Amino acid sequence: MSDPVPNISAQRPIIRQLDDAAINRIAAGEVVERPASAVKELVENAVDAGATRIEVAYADGGKTLIRVTDDGCGIEGADLPLALSRHATSKIDGTDLLDIHTFGFRGEALPSLGAVGRLTITSRAEGDAAQLRVAGGEMEPVKPAALSRGTVVELRDLFYATPARLKFLRTDRAEAQAITDVVKRLAMAEPHIGVTLRDVSGGGEGRVTFQAHPEQGDLFDALHARLGVILGRDFAANALPIDALREGFRLTGYAALPTYSRGAAVAQFLFVNGRPVRDKLLYGALRGAYADFLSRDRHPAAALFVTCDPKLVDVNVHPAKSEVRFREPGLVRGLIVSSLRHALAEAGHRASSTVADATLGAMRPEPTGPRVYQMDRPSSSQVQHSYQSQAPAQGAMGFAEQPSARFEPLEPDVPEVEETPREALPLGAARAQVHENYIIAQTETGMVIVDGHAAHERLNYEKLKRQMAENGVARQALLIPEIVDLSEGDAALLLSMADQLAAMGLVIEAFGGGAIAVRETPAILGTVNAEALIRDVLDEVADLGTTTLVQEKIEAVLSRVACHGSIRSGRWMRAEEMNALLREMEATPHSGQCNHGRPTYVELKLSDIERLFGRT
């Protein structure tokens, strides 16, 4: 006899209507996952209220206290009970859920927070201020309060009404870091709003952990300044402005140079109509734009904003509104990839300034003796007197007057009159080659050290790509077409992209049912496992909605060909060869990094070199 199914009772189940408290707690489980989720909802409400300054205070990682203060329009005292009821909002009228211009629109955040914590709202609109308290879903009467303007929302003892949720929270430090990340993302989205984050654990005023003052200027200037505050001056100095428009979609923001890459995807911030999102389509497009410049273990840094008519994107597909769905996802992906690659191409041979900083850091010697304090240093007059007393007398047979010791500057054989001095060019003039690979070039403002092999490898790679773009991808026909059995849905999906795959040299056609026939493959790939390639392409299409796998495989082969055809380390180069390489680097896009994302040259300013030798 089989065991009874545990979820099916012998009696017919009874359908019940849940009460409001249970409904709000269930909704809170979707909307409020952790303290950072509560901070996100409250800060977004403050932005929607037109605030110009927002302060967020938290204690114990947000578990015991979250307080958000803003100077927005406020809420009338009579409307406070309505604001705490489910699906009550001032941001939409419910007639069109696709025409959304605000962060919030569901009317779930405040009642959800009041259902799982102790919530107090103090607000003032035009009249007197009022206050409303709600704990565990139980609402108290509205009473007068003292407040100059705006709204103060205080949430204490989060999840006290649902203690089981407390067990799933992480440490105070981890929850505080999550709050910081949320606040920084929202601060990026609104550079004209001042944001302050304060840790008040232990009581008192606490300490400010993050602060961003309101930025002035147009959108790009304000955003650039705000990114400098949040992501650091290095990102701001090595980021390229992005501004592109295509068929109703606009892409703005900043993307860093490939040589300013990170070891993890921690510096990628994407926004849709000002809303921070974590959408795999957008992240995939960002990764695809840098695929030709970074190795797989490096990740680009960028802050990108996609703006469009709200009717072209659905933001109501995720409880936390962290994912979106575009009406034309391929158009958005193509806009991101083409815009970023165009900006990187316009950057030419430029490499990030952090490369030079790292070089200078490596060149600074470690201190070997005890620290010398200023009071122990000899004065300049003492040093000068010491030098004079140790100088050789005139006419003495010292080193400086030995006839065999002659020091002459090493000058290359160049014409006496030159229209454009080579030192005035961005990468200067070659002066020497060391260790049979590294080119030392002199510029107007310093010097450049070039990795000859890596630079030549990149130049060859760009040539091969241009030739392939001009002549197309050569194909090789299979003597016997390879048949791949798929489901009918998968086969239809691949066949809908047959033209795109054919442009990359992979020719497929229907073979009846769910089978497809592979007729031709890219010749440069040599012998390939057609079935494995087709299934890999299918997985990528199913995940991202498009595929670049075949193109990436072709570019990987081109990269290997470029590597083998480049100048090998260990070969001496003549001066004209080195200068020709420098000139070609200046004229070739992406020559600032090799095929694997490493820098091809390091530039040192004369002031930095002098500082190394203590000449400043």
- Residues 261-285 pLDDT 10s: 888 888 999 999 988 998 888 998 9
Residue type at 65? L
Is the domain of 473 the same as that of 566? yes
Does 37 fall in a domain?
yes
- CATH number of the domain enclosing 574: 3.30.1540.20
pTM for the predicted model, two decimal places = 0.74
pLDDT at 415 over 70: no
pLDDT at 109 over 60: yes
Confidence class of residue 71 from pLDDT cuts 50, 70 and 90?
very high
pLDDT at 20 over 80: no
Picking from 11-15, 27-31, 335-339, which range would have the lowest pLDDT averaged per residue? 27-31
pLDDT at 526 over 60: yes
pLDDT at 401 over 60: no
φ and ψ at 463, to 5 degrees?
-65, -45
**Ranges assigned E (strand) in 435-474:** 438-442, 446-451
Is the domain of 43 the same as that of 114? yes
Does 111 fall in a domain?
yes
Is the domain of 154 the same as that of 255? no
Q: What is the pLDDT of residue 408?
A: 38
Picking from 134-148, 192-206, 305-319, 537-551, which range would have the lowest pLDDT averaged per residue? 537-551
Does 313 fall in a domain?
yes
Using only C-alpha atoms, the chain has a radius of gyration, in whole angstroms, of 32
- Mean pLDDT throughout 424-449? 88
Does 6 fall in a domain?
no
Is the domain of 74 the same as that of 198? yes
- CATH number of the domain enclosing 294: 3.30.230.10
Total domains in the chain come to 3
The DSSP-derived string for 371-404 is PPPGGGSPPHHHHHHHHHHHSPPTT---GGG-TT
pLDDT at 407 over 50: no
| 56 strand-pairing partners | 68, 197
Does 402 fall in a domain?
no
- CATH number of the domain enclosing 129: 3.30.565.10
Q: Name the packing angle between helices 280-289 and 329-346 (round to 10°).
A: 30
Is the domain of 89 the same as that of 173? yes
Residue type at 309? D
Does 99 fall in a domain?
yes
Picking from 139-153, 316-330, 441-455, which range would have the lowest pLDDT averaged per residue? 316-330
Is the domain of 555 the same as that of 603? yes
Is the domain of 98 the same as that of 225? no
Q: What is the pLDDT of residue 255?
A: 94
Using DSSP bridges, classify how beta strands 302-307 and 268-272 pair: parallel, antiparallel or unpaired: parallel
The two structure tokens encoding residue 156 = 């204490």
Q: What is the pLDDT of residue 126?
A: 82
Q: What is the pLDDT of residue 62?
A: 94
pLDDT at 181 over 60: yes
Q: What is the pLDDT of residue 295?
A: 76
Does 362 fall in a domain?
no
Handedness of CA 543, 547, 553, 559 (dihedral sign): negative
Q: What is the pLDDT of residue 82?
A: 86
- The model's pLDDT over 345-393, given as tens digits with 9 standing for 90+, comes to 888 777 777 766 666 666 655 554 555 455 555 555 654 555 455 544 5
Is the domain of 601 the same as that of 552? yes
Q: How far is it, in rounded angstroms, from Cα 272 to Cα 329? A: 13
Q: What is the pLDDT of residue 311?
A: 87
Confidence class of residue 191 from pLDDT cuts 50, 70 and 90?
very high
Is the domain of 146 the same as that of 167? yes
Letter string b/e over residues 171-199, b meaning 16 or more CB atoms within 10 A of that residue's CB: ebeebbebbbebbbbbbbbbbebbbbbbb
Confidence class of residue 417 from pLDDT cuts 50, 70 and 90?
very low
Percent of all residues in the chain with a pLDDT value above 90, rounded to a whole number: 30
More confident residue, 384 or 465: 465
Does 481 fall in a domain?
yes
Domain endpoint, select from 189, 212, 235: 212
- Mean pLDDT throughout 247-272? 91
Domain endpoint, select from 312, 347, 382: 347
Using DSSP bridges, classify how beta strands 53-59 and 194-199 pair: parallel, antiparallel or unpaired: parallel
Q: In which domain, by residue range, is 27 found?
A: 20-212
Q: What is the pLDDT of residue 379?
A: 58
Angle at 329 between CA 219 and CA 473, to 5 degrees: 105
pLDDT at 414 over 60: no
Is the domain of 225 the same as that of 170? no
Query: Do 159 and 129 touch, CB atoms closer than 8 A?
Result: no
Is the domain of 487 the same as that of 437? yes
Q: What is the pLDDT of residue 395?
A: 44
Q: What is the pLDDT of residue 65?
A: 95
- The model's pLDDT over 215-233, given as tens digits with 9 standing for 90+, comes to 988 888 999 999 999 999 8
Is the domain of 165 the same as that of 243? no
> For all residues of the chain together, what is the average pLDDT?
81
pLDDT at 121 over 60: yes
Measured in whole angstroms, the distance separating CA 15 from the mean position of its chain's CA atoms is 49
Domain endpoint, select from 194, 212, 230: 212
- Mean pLDDT throughout 524-548? 80
